Amino acid sequence: MRRAVSFFTVLLLCLGAATPARAQGRPQFRPAVLGTGPDSLINRIDGAALMKAGQQDGAIMFCSLTAKDGRLVESRTYRPMPDSDALEKEVRRCLEDTKVTPAIYNYQPVEVLFYGTVVFRIVNAKPRVRIYLHQDPVELKKESDFVGPQPIFGGDSRFMGLHAPQEEHVVPVTGIVDLGLKVDAKGNPTEMRIIKEDPPLLGFGAAALEDFAGAKFVPAFRDGDPAECDTVLPVVYGTDS
């Protein structure tokens, strides 16, 4: 009888351990998103100061390692539009102290890579800042309500960060790979392909395929709901990758 009581006690404890996240009202999936508080990136970028500094229409992409509590641990910017120096400087400044709403995968907070594109325009003599949480050129052109898939660190995801090719170079080389991804609505990649690598023939494409092999993703979100996607994920390798 003791064994039966012990068994059911353990079973109840296990069931209880498996369900508290749902009881707390967490969704199964949620991408890291900007949030609305004073620490949100959209509320920290000073559009008026950019306009005063002479910034015209411009754009810059960024990627951040995002902790489970929403802190941006490490960030980098890349692929600026021409004459976007002031915007890039401002985005870098703001990313240092930005917090986001953390990502959730299977009801648990997770660490992810957080991708975005900041677009600055002057409209009717006033500054306008838009931030899109993806870097897909087609979706950017359409200004879609789309959040790209976010690669997860740890758990059942084998993604462990970016590891640049080990070849010796005379000077430090930065590489960028456009990784084509198909990801289902549960965050499972179904196809991965190299669309472009720059510079070519230095191993950056192969490094990207190896780094993302076995990765899981917080799925893409379209119009507020998880969705399968066929998208482009720029993967940037610097001297510190």
Q: What is the pLDDT of residue 25?
A: 81
DSSP 37: S
Q: What is the pLDDT of residue 1?
A: 35
List the chain domain ranges. Answer: 25-237
Q: What is the pLDDT of residue 2?
A: 34
Lowest model confidence (mean pLDDT) among 19-33, 123-137, 184-198: 19-33
Percent of the chain with pLDDT over 90: 81
Which runs of E-coded beta strand occur in 199-228? 217-218, 220-222, 225-227
Q: What is the pLDDT of residue 117?
A: 98
114 within 8 A of 32, measured Cβ to Cβ: yes
CATH topology of domain 25-237: TolA/TonB C-terminal domain (3.30.2420)
Residues 6+ positions from 61 with CB-CB distance below 8 Å = 77, 78, 79, 80, 115, 116, 117, 118, 135, 234
Q: Is the pLDDT of residue 5 over 70?
A: no
Distance of alpha carbon 196 from alpha carbon 232, whole angstroms: 10
pTM of the predicted structure, to 2 decimals = 0.87
Q: What tens digit of pLDDT does each residue of 219-241 get?
A: 999 999 999 999 999 999 985 54
